[in-house]
Amino acid sequence: MVEPPAAAPSRVAEQDVLLATKLHVPRAQPGFVPRPRLVQALDEGLARGLVLVCAPAGSGKTALLADWARRGQRPVAWLSLDAADNDPARFWRHAAAALDRVSPEIAERVNPLLGPPAPASFEGAGDGADQRAGRPARCGRDAAGPRRLPSDSPGMPG
C-alpha cells in the first residue's frame, strides 16, 4: 500500500475542521431578541413530524432555529449550507455527518453509497494564464474531473 503524501493528512484534517464548523448550532448574536411564541410553535410542530420555516432573507430564520435548538432537550442535527452544497453528493455527505452526531454510524452506512468525496473546491485551479492575459479564470468539472475551459466557451460569461 502506498503511503499518502505528508500534506494529505493535514488537508483532510482541514476539511474536517471546515465541515465541523457547519455542524455547530450558531451562538446567539449580540442584540438577539428571543421569540418565545415562535419557539412554542416549533415545539408544537414536532408532533406533526415536519416543520417548514419560510421567510425572507435576513428575517431571523437561522437565529430562531438556533435558539430553539439550544433551548430544547432533544438531540438536533444542524447543518449550515452554502452554495457549494448544491452538489447532491456533497449535500448528503454533510447531512449524514450532521445526523451522525445525533445517531452515530449513519455516516458510516451512507457515505459508501455516495462514492468518493469530491475535492473541496476548484477555486484557484489552473496556472493563472487567464489572469495574466486579462481574462477571468474558468474551471469546469465533468466525469473525468476538473478541466480548464477556454474563455470563449459557450455558456460562460465573456
pLDDT for position 152? 47
The answer to whether 96 touches 110, Cβ cutoff 8 Å, is yes
For the segment 2-50, what is each residue's pLDDT rounded down to a tens digit?
Answer: 333 444 444 445 567 778 889 999 999 999 999 999 999 999 998 888 8
For the segment 54-92, what is each residue's pLDDT rounded down to a tens digit?
Answer: 999 999 999 999 999 998 888 899 999 988 889 898 899
Residue 138 pLDDT greater than 80, yes or no: no
Q: What are the residue ranges spanned by the domains of the chain?
A: 10-23+77-118, 26-75
Note if the pTM is more than 0.95: no
For the chain, the three-class secondary structure string (H helix, E strand, C coil) is CCCCCCHHHHHHHHHHHHHHHHCCCCCCCCCCCCCHHHHHHHHHHHHHCCCCCCCCCCCCHHHHHHHHHHHCCCCCCCCCCCHHHHCHHHHHHHHHHHHHHHCCCHHHHHHHHHCCCCCCCCCCCCCCHHHHCCCCCCEEEECCEEEECCCCCCCCCC
Mean pLDDT of 133-153: 45
